[in-house]
Amino acid sequence: MSGDAVGADKIVHEPAESFAESTNVRQFMREYGIDDHEALIERTTTDLPGEPASGVEWFWDEIVDYLGIEFDEPYDRVRDDTDGPQFSEWYPGGRLNVTHNVVERHATGDSANQIACLWEGEPGDERKMTFRDLSNQTARVTNYL
């Protein structure tokens, strides 16, 4: 039996171009002049000669700023791969609150009523939860703990 995944070379789902254009990934690509996904992969995984805005460390450091991720304690560097890349420690020295970054900071202001979670069931059932609702539910769970 081969170690290759069945159909690994096939695209399973390709979103409509109008949807793809509206994503954060495409916005990031436009902002940095990256033309396609192959160029994105190369630029974010390879230190390109003469291109300081390239490589793994550049990308993951930049993405923190780009997405506005807030650290409670700043990280010393992007990663420590002293023990090999498979054992990388990401953002060593840094400390962050995932709940704050994912939920709480979006639960007030303009994004409070935006959809944070969307659930769709089999017969067309649907449930939507805004950032404000998700924050309230998160607080309830926290209070139970």
Instruction: Give residue 48's pLDDT.
Output: 86
Instruction: Give residue 8's pLDDT.
Output: 66
Confidence of residue 135 (pLDDT cuts 50, 70, 90): very high
Given a contact cutoff of 8 angstroms between Cβ atoms, the answer to whether 91 and 69 are in contact is: no
Rounded CA-CA distance 137/143 in Å is 10
* Beta-bridge partners for 120: 126
Residue pLDDT, tens place only, 21-72: 999 999 999 999 999 999 999 999 998 888 888 899 999 999 999 999 999 9
Q: Which two tokens stand for residue 144?
A: 């139970």
Instruction: Give residue 131's pLDDT.
Output: 97
